Structures are given as C-alpha cells and as structure tokens.
Structure 1
Amino acid sequence: MDAMDLGARCGVLRPTELMPRPELLSPASTRSCSDRSLRSARSASADSFDFAPYDFKLWNLIIRPPRVVYDDSELGPTEFFAGGVRATRRDLKLRTRRALSLSCSYFTPSQGGREIQRFPVIIYLHGNSSSRLEACNLVGALISQHMSLFCFDAAGCGQSEGEYVSLGWHESDDLAAVIDCLRSFPNCGPIGLWGRSMGAATALMHADQNPNLGALCLDSSFANLRQLLEELAQSKSVPLPVPSWLVGPALALIRLRVKSLADFDIEDLVPLQHAKRSCAPAIFLHGREDDFVHPGHSQQLYEAYMGSKELMAVEGDHNSERSGRVVSHIIGFFGRCLRRLPLEPIPRPVLVWDPQFVAPSLDGVPLRVPHRLRQSTDLAKKDKVVIGSAARRADGPSLIPVRGKLVNREVIERPCGSMGRARVLGAVGGA
C-alpha cells in the first residue's frame, strides 16, 4: 500500500482534491468575490479581535480619568476681601449615603450686624477629570455680588473618596445629600447649580427631582452618553480611535465592564430625558470649537428643556476658560433668578461659646450652636464665661486676610431628608 492509498483510507485529502482547477473570472466577479471575502474576514476577526486597547481607552475615559492632586493652600486664604466684601472659606467633609467622604469648600460673605443674613448660594459642579479648584476663579466675582459659593470634589476626584466616577449617575444622588446639608446652614439662601461637562449632566440629572432650585447654568453637557461614546470612539480626541465596524461590539463590552466596576448602565445615562421634566430657569453654554462634546448636544438639551431657557455659543473648546464677559453674564442671570423673592433675615441669638467648641466659625455662623446665655453679663464674668467677640481665640479671625488652620475636628451628623443622612466631619480652615 503506497502513501497515497494510506492517506485515502485515513480520510486525508489527495493533492488533487486540495487544489481545485483554476477558473477564469471576469473583473466583476473578482470584485464581488473580494467583497465577500472582506466581509467574511471582518466577521471572523470581530469574533477573535483583541478589544483590549480600545476597551481600556474608552472605559478609562468614562469612569477613571486622571485624578487631580493638589494642596489645600491652592484653595486660597480662609479670610479675604473681594470687591470690598469681607468673606471666609470654610472647608468641611460630608459623608454621602454611599458612605464616601466628599471634600467641600464653602465661600460666603461674612455676617455683620445683629441678624444672620441668608445669601444666594451657587453650587459649582466640576468636570470628570477636574476638582473643586475649578471653581476658585469664580470666588471673587460671586462674593463681590454678595453670593456664596459651595464647591466639592466629586467622588473619585481630587481629595474625595471613591475609585470611579459615573458622569452624573451617582453624582446626582451625592448632590442631593450636599443640598440637604447646605440647607441646614442658617446663612443659606436660594440655591443655583453651575455645572460644567460631567457637572452639567449631574445638575440636569438632579434638577427634575428638585423643584426648589432657583436657576441652572449648564456648560458643555452631553445629551446622551451612548451617543457621546459612539462619537468619541471615532474621534481624534481619543488616543486610539475605534474602527467603525468595531464600535458596536466595543461599546457592548464597555457597558458590561462599567456595570461591574462603577455600578451603572451607560444606556440609562440620558440627561435629555431629565431636561424634558425640568423647569428652573437655565442657561445652556457651549464652546464653538468643542470637539469632545459636540455643541449639538447642548442644542438638543435646549430644545427639549421645559423651563425658561437661554442658549449661548461662546469662543473656545471643551476645556477653555470662559471669558470675563461670559462669567459676568451668568452671574447676572443667577442674581436675577435667585433674588426675585427676598428673604427675611434671621435674628442672631446671643451666644456663649462652648469651651469644648475650640473651632469657632469664621463667618459668624457656628457649625454647632452653643448654649444660649441665661445669666446676666456680670454673672457670666463671675463664672468666667466670656460672651460674644471676646470669646474668640487669640488666633481667631481679624480684619485683615489671614491664613491658618483650625484644630480639633468634630463629627457632626445632620439629617439629609429623603436622601439619607450626611455627616459633616468638622469645620477645618485651610492654610
């Protein structure tokens, strides 16, 4: 038995069966054959293609952008003047219902006179690879108009706890806890939200749940996360653009990974749906040269928004600093919206400082209210209890800008309504 017969018995094809006769093909048939081969090759490669580089670039862009590292001193002094208005900065930590600690800063005009004034408060919400430092450029402009500024590092950003961001999904719940805590302060007036990029999406995701918001500024928000990812997948903004025929499979894999790591579904993140149910006055802002989130997203949101609205196209791209003219226009918008209903000032009680409360507030509103004075001034002196400004420590605030840190943090729990409880971990002034 020769080798050829042995191969036939074992089921091995003969050379003549392996090599069919060549056929003459026309150019048209050659092209159609090539097209079929290309499609089948793409189909086969889609099953065996290594998605890792594309998958990593996109999901990292969504939930784990670079974390900003900074020092508290970059937040500025704890006491300062802006436009002739004396103001203070109070740093605090707030624990959300997800048990994550958020690093916050509260810039507010100082109290004067015998009554506690309630100032309009702007909560600034930064982008996904930024921090509360982004809001510091607005401090002077807001304080000079007798408005307070509250800013915080979103979970997963800056000095706050958390491993991942969610582009507004979990951040909207954290914002609800921040607002509940802020409203417990006696100097808090009407609240407006100023968000940029992820922060703008967060504001929209929360706005339809909170009818008491006074106004919104929404700078460079996306309308639909799935739509944004499809655009970014083939954009030059991504270091490794995804071929068009791989976008669908890549996003399916990213969806699973984001669900497992960050506990949200990218298909559910659609600020456009929330815009249809929101009614607070709003400004939609977008840079004309923005190639990361196309200006068409703000156009969609503007058209769907139910409340009074304004659309501004400004110079710059996604990360450009907004001009002084634009900032002044937005602050004027907040001033008109938040001051329509004047608030009655709260009478300030005569207080005796608790000896254990060694960190008096720099703005005249203590985080923990000390006991009311029941004795006369003479009796208080006899018992070595000091009243009012005389109770301030030697290193307390003066009439000139100072830098310094307050010591002995305390844990104070404050109820946060339907969104659970938030814990304020002390009031510590940064250097």
Structure 2
Amino acid sequence: MQHVRMVLTRGITMFAFDFAGCGLSEGDYITLGYHEREDVSTIISYLRDSGEVSTIALWGRSMGAATALLHGHRDPSIAGLVLDSPFSSLEMVVRELIDKVPLRFKPSLLVAAAIRMVRKTVLKRTGMDILKLKPIENVHTCFIPALFVAGVNDDLIDPHHTHDIHELYAGDKNMVLIDGDHNSARPEYLVDSVSIFFYERLCMPAGLPGELPPVQVPLGPSGMPEQAGSSVSAIWSFDEHSTPQDAGQTAVRNFGNVASDNV
C-alpha cells in the first residue's frame, strides 16, 4: 500500500494484477514471462481501448521485471520501465541455483542431464522452452527509458543479471542498488525515486523542458487518495507480494516438482 499511495498522490493511476498461476489468479503453472508477456499485452490493449488513459509505463519485480522487458522491446509506445531484479537468462538462473546446492560433487554431465529433463517436461506441460527464455536478448533494441533496481544480497537472482541487462540496454537508463535480498521490502527512498521517474515519464507534456511540480491529490480518512488522475497509468504486477514466496522461487519449486515427477 505504501507504493500505491506514493504513486497515486502524484496523479498517476495504477493497474495492479496477479499473473496467471499467482495470487488470486487461476492457473497451475507460471512461465516466468514466456507467456505472461501476452497477459501484459492484453492489459495494455484493454487500457488503451478504454479511452481513459494516455501514456502507460510498466513496473515489475522479478518475473514481472522480466516480463516487462520481454514486452517492452516490441512496444516502443511504453513511456517507461521500472525493472526490479530481472533475470537475464532462465538457464543461467537454474545453473546458478544448482551451483549453490551444498553437494560435494556435482558432475557437469549430471547437471546437464537434469536440465534437459526439466526442459523436456516443462515444454510438454506449458509450451515453454526454458533455454529460450532470455530477456537480455533484445535489450539492445529497446529504447524505452528504464530504471533498474537490484538488491546487493539477492541470492535467488544474482545482481549481475541486472548489471548485465543494464550494460546492454539501449535506452536512457539508471540503476539503483539497495541493501537487501530478493524479497526484502524496498526502502522508501526507492519508492520516491520510482514515483519521480513515473511522474517525469508519464506526466511531462511532450516538448516542455524542465520538471513540473508534483501533483498532490487529497488523502481521504483511510490515508489513500480520494481520487487519482485518470489520464496516465502505470501497470504494476504483484508477483512479489501475491504469493508466500517470490514468483521466481515458485517457478523453481514448480520446476523441481516437474523434475521429480520424472525421476
């Protein structure tokens, strides 16, 4: 709610949702962005067809950030991206997680065989090839202004993933490193930075130099804005708040279950 209030008080509306298979949404599987990018595309089309919004930005964390990247390179009309802890390659994440397993011996052939088995099963069940899920592949063609975020103690998606994507990203970019891990609550200064970024990208009239003052929306008795502007919109995927574990951890668990079914 802290995030919502900070954004709404700047006159920006927010469309928050759970991906299929997460939170309150139905579904048995998540694909870490492979199919979720189509969910984002559908939501964006809905917002644009509504006639109630003008510019749209995307804010995602973990799977949400990877999904925003996968959609962003094919939709240059997006005004801005906030990308918190995206992964560059799912295969790399899987290998790094295996490397962290406290086993004395992990033969490379055994690791490769396990990945092939998981790949085959996931492909059969979801139509997703885990070896082809590489959000970093198209960032050199994405020119949407982006704010990258990474937790320096993230032990699920190593911060180097965010650094690598940021390094190759073609558009205007900035990066914020925060203390904490993959699931840590984000500090207030980061929420402030995101709010300013969204305001500049969504509310700044084209062609006008400089910054505009923040739009202050009156707060109601509950502490939430009584009304929010409806001319701009930021989409926020709730994948990091809607489940007991982060979506990335859920996916790893699902992949583990898939693998165990075949042992």
- Cα distance, 1:338–1:241 mapped onto 2, change above 3 Å: farther
| Counterpart Cα distance in 1 of 2:93 and 2:104 | 14
Residue by residue over 1:336-390, the C-alpha shift from the partner in whole angstroms, topping out at 9 and shown as x without a partner, is 1112226xxxxxxxxxxxxxxxxxxxxxxxxxxxxxxxxxxxxxxxxxxxxxxxx
Cα displacement (A) at 1:400: 6.8
* Counterpart pick for 2:193 among 314, 317, 329: 329
Residues 234 and 241 of structure 1 are in contact (CA less than 8 Å); yes or no, is this contact kept in structure 2?
no
Say which of 22, 32, 37 aligns to 1:167: 32
Contact residue 285 and residue 312 of structure 1 kept, 8 A: yes
Query: Could you tell me which amino acid in structure 2 is paired with residue 194 of structure 1?
Result: W
CA 288–186 in structure 1, closer or farther in 2 if over 3 Å, else same: same
Q: List structure 1 segments (4+ residues) > 3 angstroms apart after TM superposition.
A: 239-242
Q: 1:251 aligns with which of 74, 95, 115?
A: 115
* Residues 116-161 of structure 1: CA deviation (Å, up to 9, x unaligned): xxxxxxxxxxxxxxxxxxxx43111111111111111101112212
Q: For 1:331 and 1:178, how far apart are their aligned partners in 2?
A: 21
More helix by share: 2
Distance 1:305 1:183 in 2: 26
Which one has a bigger Cα radius of gyration?
1
Question: What CA deviation, in whole Å up to 9, does each residue of 1:259-294 have, x standing for no partner?
Answer: 011111011100001212111100111000011111
Q: Does 1:194 align with 2:194?
A: no
Structure 1 distance, partners of 2:26, 2:221, is 34
Q: How many residues align?
A: 208
Identity %: 37
Aligned partner of 2:124 in structure 1 is: 260
Higher relative contact order (CA 8 A, sep 6+): 2
Structure 2 residue aligned with 1:220: 85
TM-superposition CA deviations, 1:88-123 (whole Å, max 9, x none): xxxxxxxxxxxxxxxxxxxxxxxxxxxxxxxxxxxx
Mapped to 2, the partners of 1:181 and 1:193 lie a distance apart of 15
Change (3 A) 1:240 1:154: farther
Distance in structure 2 (CA, Å) of the matches to 1:176 and 1:242: 44
Give the Cα separation in 1 of the matches to 2:60 and 2:105.
29
Q: Which residue of 2 aligns with 1:9?
A: none
Question: In structure 1, the residue corresponding to 2:14 is in which secondary structure?
Answer: strand
Q: CA deviation at 1:241?
A: 9.7
- Tell me the distance in 1 between the aligned counterparts of 2:26 and 2:182: 26
Q: TM-score, normalising length from structure 2? A: 0.75
1:211–1:279 Cα contact (<8 Å) kept: yes
User: What is aligned with 2:23?
Assistant: 158
**Residue-by-residue CA offset, 1:218-248 (whole Å, 9 max, x unaligned):** 0000001111111011225xx9898243211
* Equivalent residue letter for 2:125: L
**Structure 1's 326 and 257: CA in aligned 2 closer, same or farther, altered over 3 A?**
same
Given that residues 235 and 241 in structure 1 are in contact (C-alpha distance below 8 angstroms), is that contact kept between their aligned partners in structure 2? no
User: Tell me, which stretches of 5 or more residues in structure 2 are unaligned?
Assistant: 207-219, 223-263
More strand by share: 1
Match of 2:163 among 277, 281, 299: 299
C-alpha distance in 1 between matches for 2:124 and 2:57: 34
Secondary structure in structure 2 of the residue aligned to 1:331: helix
Partner of 1:207: 72
TM-score, structure 1 as length reference: 0.46
Alignment gaps of 5+ in structure 1: 1-135, 343-398, 402-431
Measured on the aligned residues, the alpha-carbon RMSD in Å equals 1.9
Instruction: Assess, with a 3 A threshold, how the Cα gap between structure 1 residues 241 and 277 changes in structure 2: closer, same or farther.
Output: farther
1:324 is displaced (CA, Å) by 0.4
- Any idea what the Cα deviations from partners look like across 1:32-82, whole Å, max 9, x if unmatched? xxxxxxxxxxxxxxxxxxxxxxxxxxxxxxxxxxxxxxxxxxxxxxxxxxx
